[in-house]
Structure 1
Amino acid sequence: MRTHEPYEGSRMTTSYFSDLLVEFLNQQGIDKVAFNPGASFRGVHDSLVHASEAPDIVMACHEEIAVALAHGYHKASGRHMAVFVHANVGLLHASMAIFNAWCDRVSLFVLGGNGPVDAGKRRPWIDWIHTSQNIESVVKDYVKWCDQPIGQRATVESLYRAFKLMNTPLQAPVFVALDFDVQEQELADGVRLLPAAATEPTRLPALGGSELDHLVGRLREARLPVLIVDFSGRDPETVAPLVALADALGLAVVDRGNRMNFPNTHQLNVSNTGLLDSADLVIALEVQDLVGALGSFLPLTDEGLPANGAEVVTLGFNELLTSKWAADYQQFVPVSLAVAADTGQSVSALREVAEDPEGPFVAAEFTERREERVKALSALHTEARAEWARQADEARDREHIQVSTAVQEIHRAVRDEEWVLTNTGSLTIDGWVKKLWPLERPGSYLGLNGGGGLGYGLGASVGAALAHQGDGTLCVDLQADGDFLYTPSALWTLAAYDVPLLVIVMNNRLYLNSTQHAERIADNRDRDTGRAHIATSFYDQPVDFVTLAESYGVHALPRVERIEAVEPTVREAVAHIKEHGKPVLVEILMD
């Protein structure tokens, strides 16, 4: 999809530095750029519009949406959508979305305009307020690397360094400021691109040597080894080998679910079940919040270690990237072994040993213990999923639509499609999705926002759906109403580019988390919990999401207020998307 055609009457007889920037994007395989237009990168904008070959432009109405577009696009496809932001004002608008991507460990290529650093070249007023010294300081504490290069050669080097670093584990956003004047200069003699391969990321080795031997020995001896996964599914290629490893060793799997890491319908997936308090070995694979993960099934000491003395081994990249400003690195846990290694290769190394017909895991003692363990875990898994389905069925009889039953009915409407959940809106919605939907295909579930920042869902879902545009995938955004209202103008981008996304607004007319906190504090203080909805709800001035969507040119169906209408309405929406290739919004009113 091209957003423009080169203007044939334009003869680009002179090559400007901004033209070279566009060539860099082409060289690195970037097929889309997102931005809200701003004069501080007008040179690059002109080059994008007039180049015979350039990434497609995706215009957004706010920088927070532009960054979220790239965030969702990368999670859905593994490809990069570059983002341009307008000087300091655009970077400030974008900062929340960049923080989300930082916490979500997503690599984003963010380029910002900046007024001329050479004060003699500034226009009165506007260039002065849009020029900043150390402009990158706005986001420097939650990007992997940032720079404000001055001059053409320095800018070229910064672009290559940024692209390489953002893709080197642990992945995260980068930011490079582009001087207004430098962009518009004629290309200087001798300034050229480096080889494309210069941005190849530095690789980590696989688990090996004494560390591999130690882990193999402990896996052979353990009575109940537990594998915790969290971000490994960033690379969909890790899912199948991980399943094979768990099967070979009979591992209990706890999926923290920041990506689709391990099928939730697999008999060894015992996430959210508890009853693993006899675990004696825990392997945490790319787990961000280790204390929260361990505490979900084990009593812990004050240090965050299992009270039963279980050995904890961490494997992944987390300790390779920490912020001095944000505490997203979570509580420190003094584990017995921490290994920085390539996740996919390490899983393969362990799997090779586990499946070796002459290896350490063929002994009868281990085989018998494994079979007993698999039988017990399978029963636990089956019982838990049956109970969750029973709870959802029971909630159908309530007066108002419950999240659990809505999630169940939505799945019934889309289960025959090749669907991808681009966003699940809130912890409540997300929790029921993981209990009731079969999350089995790599890449079918993209996770939440990372940083807990509202305003992510709609923009990220548009980006994810752009990544799947034309491939027949049904992209579904289970959209919380409060998050939606941060960035409603993302509907413009959704409609303008005919993005085939199913937006389902799960509208409880509340900031539920804030309401729950208000109830909790009032209860603790022996006050009226019935006033918890004040300034946490939309009860007195509800939003009509159907009319809002239609005002942006997005097809919307009548609001759903009865549980029996959920499935047929969603089916109608799916049929419209498949017939017209355009977005549809469904609003469900619920408790």
Structure 2
Amino acid sequence: MMLTGARILMECLLEQGVDTVFGYPGGAVLNLYDALFEYRAKIRHVRTAHEQAAAHAADGYARASGKTGVCIATSGPGATNLVTGIATAYADSVPMVAITGNVARPLLGKNSFQEVEITAITRPVTKKSIPVQDVSELANVVREAFFLANSGRKGPVLIDIPKDVSAQTAEYVPAPRRSPEQSPPPSRESLRRAAAMLSESERPLLYGGGGVIAADAEREFARLAETLDAPVSCSLMCQGGFDQKDARYLGMLGMHGTKASAEAMKNCDLLIAVGTRFSDRVLCDAGRFARNCRILQIDIDPKEFGKNVGVDLRLQGDVKAVLGELLPLLTQRRHETWMQCAEQWKRDYPMRQQGQGAEDVLPQDVMEALCRLAGPEAILTTEVGQHQMWAAQFASFRNPRTFLTSGGLGTMGFGLGAAIGAKTAMPERTVVNIAGDGSFRMNCAELSTLSRERIPVLELIFSNSTLGMVRQWQKLFYGGRFSASDVEDAIDCEKLAQAFGVRAMTIHCKSEIEQVLSEALNCGEPVLVNCPVGKDLNVLPMVPSTGSVEEPILAMDE
């Protein structure tokens, strides 16, 4: 059948199972939005207050559901406003298809109104950026974009559609959805060598990264831990990839990881790294990382082997598939003394924040109460800063895809858009965004999206009138010179929320934590909870970027 480019796009989105797109209209995408109106019974459109939030919402939708997120923006500034969100998804390997409009083809390259070469701008932060030259190419380009976004190491793909292409007509022929390309399994010899390495280890430490969740491999990862009889640590991106109520779990590893994980790293004889890229926030001083052990790395991306740290054996492939091949080669191990050491380290170095007074509000108490009240199926998103680390340290994640955070790019402003996407994808689940003052100022206009779309997300702000993580570094390394890090101003976030049509409340003291959170979680509407905390609360443990991950700072002299 003959269809316009805009309608071909809609039909291809339906082919790919898309039910929701996030975006903001503009001149170059008016044909697309006219088609969205026609297809509104099949494809929901959520208009955010800013294009960056549309990209973050598509990202959050993908992380929460495991499907591919989709966002749309117009040309020029609309397209460039997506770039931070696209880069965020790229850094964390999130499948996304970003669709931009552009000026009509005769105007390309002439510095036309709202024209940028968005495919060139986004090439470094996408798996592929594809300009559509003719309407006859459009259907295959869309299909290729979804295929690429989900093949191998997942990530974002951008499609740029000139306005006249979306108006042209062409023959549309339906096609079935193409399955993602599967990575070939490791050789049998490599698997046998890995099995031998695992059987020889007396003090194994299992370390999981975001690839565990991306591959839906949490069950295989848990079976590996049980079969090896090994303690487990996870990266920031793997929170929820292993049940944190399991006695084997030691906490995060890295710059703000637990002392128990640091001790396990120092004393293990084999580190089994699964689906992780060994980021600088985990390694800190790479020269002093894992000095006393061998490393077995399992990852889908061959570029990650040896990039940041040398490894003794590599197994390339999809984590779920590799573990599926490896587990039958292993026999049940028992490491009672090693596991007793791990348990003792957890007792010796508990995670506990200290306040000055009995009624002081501490993030640890808030996060523990939130998790207890919201339950293990709740999805927590975060902005970036101290609050992000407090959420990772003190919340208890028992299921995958319940902690959505910007790990690689560290994007302030990510969380509220991601919460909008997560709640849209999983409407039956409780969704809470954890924020700080600085991040809240970056995306507070998205409260209008919550209100207009009636999306019942809880926005929880740890407000301390400062850029807390910046202040903490200035305290430690810049002589206490707090240059531009205080954000004491006249903003009343409760009144601001109410102006947007969002309910607001405040936790004033420790005894109010449970009552306020319970009311907020059960009100059935968008709600903001302001939670003032002390300006000089720190995120501890902490490893300086030049320090050894095995020797974290446990206390700071104020």
1:266 Cα deviation from its structure 2 partner? 1.6
Give the 5 Å matches for 1:406-555: 406-412=366-372, 414-415=373-374, 417=375, 419-469=377-427, 471=428, 473-523=429-479, 529=480, 531-532=481-482, 534-539=483-488, 541-555=489-503
Of residues 509, 523, 539 in structure 2, which corresponds to 1:576? 523
Which residue in the other structure is 1:131 paired with? 115
Aligned length in residues: 524
Using the size of structure 1 for normalisation, the TM-score is: 0.83
Q: Distance in 2 between matches of 1:68 and 1:383?
A: 39
* Contact 1:34 1:57 (8 Å CA) reproduced: yes
Query: CA, structure 1 residues 290+15, in 2 after alignment: closer, same or farther (shift >3 Å)?
Result: closer
**Amino acid corresponding to residue 334 of structure 1 in structure 2:** G
Classify the secondary structure of the residue corresponding to 2:471: helix
1:281 Cα deviation from its structure 2 partner? 1.4
Which residue in the other structure is 1:313 paired with? 296
**1:163 maps onto 2:142 in alignment:** no
Q: Distance in 1 between matches of 2:357 and 2:40?
A: 60
Query: CA, structure 1 residues 79+490, in 2 after alignment: closer, same or farther (shift >3 Å)?
Result: same
Q: Distance in 2 between matches of 1:375 and 1:463?
A: 42
Q: Distance in 2 between matches of 1:290 and 1:209?
A: 29
Q: Distance in 1 between matches of 2:444 and 2:337?
A: 53
* Contact 2:56 2:414 (8 Å CA) reproduced: yes
Give the 5 Å matches for 1:110-509: 110-119=98-107, 128-132=112-116, 134-185=117-168, 187-188=169-170, 191-193=171-173, 195-197=175-177, 199-235=178-214, 237-259=216-238, 260-271=240-251, 272=258, 273=260, 274-276=262-264, 277-289=266-278, 292-293=281-282, 302=287, 306-308=290-292, 310-320=293-303, 332-354=308-330, 361=331, 367=334, 370-384=335-349, 387-388=350-351, 391-392=352-353, 394-395=354-355, 397=357, 400-412=360-372, 414-415=373-374, 417=375, 419-469=377-427, 471=428, 473-509=429-465
Q: Which moved more, 1:403-412 or 1:148-157?
A: 403-412
* Contact 2:192 2:329 (8 Å CA) reproduced: no
Classify the secondary structure of the residue corresponding to 2:263: coil
Query: CA, structure 1 residues 135+440, in 2 after alignment: closer, same or farther (shift >3 Å)?
Result: closer
1:96 Cα deviation from its structure 2 partner? 1.1
* Contact 1:423 1:457 (8 Å CA) reproduced: yes
Give structure 2 stretches of 5+ with no counterpart: 252-257, 535-558
Which residue in the other structure is 2:550 paired with? none
* Contact 2:381 2:431 (8 Å CA) reproduced: no
Q: Distance in 2 between matches of 1:192 and 1:26?
A: 13
The percentage of counterpart residues that share the same residue type is: 20
Q: Distance in 1 between matches of 2:115 and 2:446?
A: 28
Q: Which moved more, 1:109-118 or 1:484-493?
A: 484-493
Give the 5 Å matches for 1:70-149: 70-119=58-107, 128-132=112-116, 134-149=117-132
Using the size of structure 2 for normalisation, the TM-score is: 0.87
Cα shift readout 1:181-208 (whole Å, capped 9, x = no counterpart): 01112x23xx3245223x3210013444
Cα shift readout 1:468-499 (whole Å, capped 9, x = no counterpart): 21x2x211211222111111111111111111
Query: CA, structure 1 residues 396+194, in 2 after alignment: closer, same or farther (shift >3 Å)?
Result: farther
Query: CA, structure 1 residues 460+283, in 2 after alignment: closer, same or farther (shift >3 Å)?
Result: same
* Contact 1:70 1:460 (8 Å CA) reproduced: yes
* Contact 1:504 1:588 (8 Å CA) reproduced: yes
Which residue in the other structure is 2:49 paired with? 61
1:433 Cα deviation from its structure 2 partner? 3.4
**1:17 maps onto 2:1 in alignment:** no
Which residue in the other structure is 1:358 paired with? none
Q: Distance in 1 between matches of 2:371 and 2:70?
A: 33
Q: Distance in 1 between matches of 2:319 and 2:215?
A: 12
Cα shift readout 1:256-307 (whole Å, capped 9, x = no counterpart): 1303211222222223212222222112111122565356xxxx773x6532
Cα shift readout 1:167-186 (whole Å, capped 9, x = no counterpart): 1121111101001001112x
* Contact 1:422 1:464 (8 Å CA) reproduced: no
* Contact 1:170 1:320 (8 Å CA) reproduced: no
Q: Distance in 2 between matches of 1:72 and 1:449?
A: 13
Query: CA, structure 1 residues 53+584, in 2 after alignment: closer, same or farther (shift >3 Å)?
Result: closer
Q: Distance in 2 between matches of 1:437 and 1:521?
A: 29
Computing the radius of gyration from Cα coordinates, the structure with the larger value is 1
Which residue in the other structure is 2:552 paired with? none
Q: Distance in 1 between matches of 2:68 and 2:313?
A: 34
Cα shift readout 1:97-128 (whole Å, capped 9, x = no counterpart): 111111111111101000012139x9xx9x92
1:435 Cα deviation from its structure 2 partner? 3.8
Classify the secondary structure of the residue corresponding to 1:546: helix
Classify the secondary structure of the residue corresponding to 2:379: strand
**Amino acid corresponding to residue 175 of structure 2 in structure 1:** P
1:398 Cα deviation from its structure 2 partner? 6.1
Cα shift readout 1:420-468 (whole Å, capped 9, x = no counterpart): 2331334533433344332112333233353112110111111111112
**Amino acid corresponding to residue 405 of structure 1 in structure 2:** D
* Contact 1:105 1:172 (8 Å CA) reproduced: yes
Q: Distance in 1 between matches of 2:200 and 2:520?
A: 53
Superposed structure 1 runs of 4+ greater than 6 Å apart: none
Classify the secondary structure of the residue corresponding to 2:404: coil
* Contact 1:72 1:422 (8 Å CA) reproduced: no
Which residue in the other structure is 1:326 paired with? none
Q: Distance in 2 between matches of 1:331 and 1:203?
A: 23
